[in-house]
Amino acid sequence: MSEHVHTKVRNGTGFITLDRPKALNSLTLEMLRALAGTLQRWRDDEAIAAVVLRSATDKALCAGGDIRFLHAAGSATPRSGSALLEDFFTEEYALNHLVHCFPKPYVALMDGVVMGGGMGISQCGPQSGVRIVTHRTRMAMPEVNIGMFPDVGGSYFLSRVPGRLGMYLALTASAIGAADALYCGLADHYLPEAELPLLADLIGSTSGAGLREAVGLFARPSREDAGPSELAQHRELIDLHFGQDSVAAIERSLRRDDHPFAQRALAAMRQRSPMMMRVTFEMLQRGATLGIADCLRMERGLVRRTFEHGDVIEGVRALAIDKDQAPRWNPASLEEVTDEMVARFFEPVWPAWAHPLRDLK
Closest CA to 50 of 17, 89, 13, 11: 13
User: For residue 74, what pLDDT band results from cuts at 50, 70 and 90?
Assistant: confident
Which of 31-35, 82-86, 258-262 comes out lowest in average pLDDT? 82-86
d(CA 193, CA 178): 12
pLDDT in tens, 315-341: 999 988 999 999 999 999 999 999 999
Catalytic residue among 143, 251, 299, 314: 143
Q: Judge contact between 133 and 187, C-beta under 8 A.
A: yes
Q: Is 65 a catalytic residue?
A: yes
Mean pLDDT of the 52-81 span: 82
**Arithmetic mean of pLDDT, 288-315:** 96
Least confident piece of the model among 59-73, 96-110, 269-283: 59-73
Active site residue 151: yes
Q: What does the pLDDT look like over 164-182, one tens digit per residue?
A: 999 999 999 999 999 999 9
Among the options 66, 92, 111, 151, which is catalytic?
151
DSSP structure class, residue 358: T
Please report the pLDDT score of residue 204 as a whole number. Answer: 82
Contacts of 278 (CB under 8 A, 6+ apart): 247, 334, 337, 341, 342
> Which domains, from first to last, does the chain contain?
5-354 (3.90.226.10)
Q: What percent of the chain has pLDDT over 70?
A: 98
pLDDT over threshold 70, residue 343: yes
d(CA 185, CA 139): 12
What pLDDT, on a 0 to 100 scale, did the predictor assign at position 8?
Answer: 95
Residue-averaged pLDDT of the chain: 93
Bin 189: left if φ > 0, else alpha if -120 < ψ < 50, else beta. beta
Q: Is pLDDT of 148 > 90? A: yes
Say how far apart CA 265 and CA 238 lie, in whole Å. Answer: 9
Eight-state DSSP code of residue 65? B
Strands 129-133 and 60-62: unpaired
Summarize pLDDT for 150-161 with one digit per residue, the tens.
999 999 999 999
Q: Which of 65, 74, 112, 154 is catalytic?
A: 65
For 243, the 3-state DSSP assignment is coil
Which is the catalytic residue, given 117, 120, 147, 315? Answer: 117
Contact partners, residue 118, CB within 8 Å, separation at least 6: 25, 27, 60, 61, 62, 63, 64, 110
Mean pLDDT of 296-319: 94
- Per-residue confidence (pLDDT) for residue 76, from 0 to 100: 66
pLDDT at 270: 96
Confidence of residue 299 (pLDDT cuts 50, 70, 90): very high
Please say if the pLDDT value at position 77 is more than 80.
no
In angstroms, the Cα distances linking 246 to 171, 249, 267, 303 are: 11, 5, 17, 22
**Is the pLDDT at 114 greater than 50, yes or no?**
yes
pLDDT above 60 for 81: no
Read off the pLDDT of each residue in 86-111 and give the average, rounded to a whole number.
96
State the pLDDT at residue 201. Answer: 85
Q: Is the peptide bond before 162 cis (omega within 30 degrees of 0)?
A: no
Query: Higher confidence at residue 222 or residue 100?
Result: 100
Distance spanning both ends of the chain, measured CA to CA? 26
Longest dimension (CA), the chain: 59
pLDDT tens-digit map of 202-217:
888 888 778 888 888 8
Whether pLDDT at 56 is above 80: yes
Report pLDDT for 1: 67
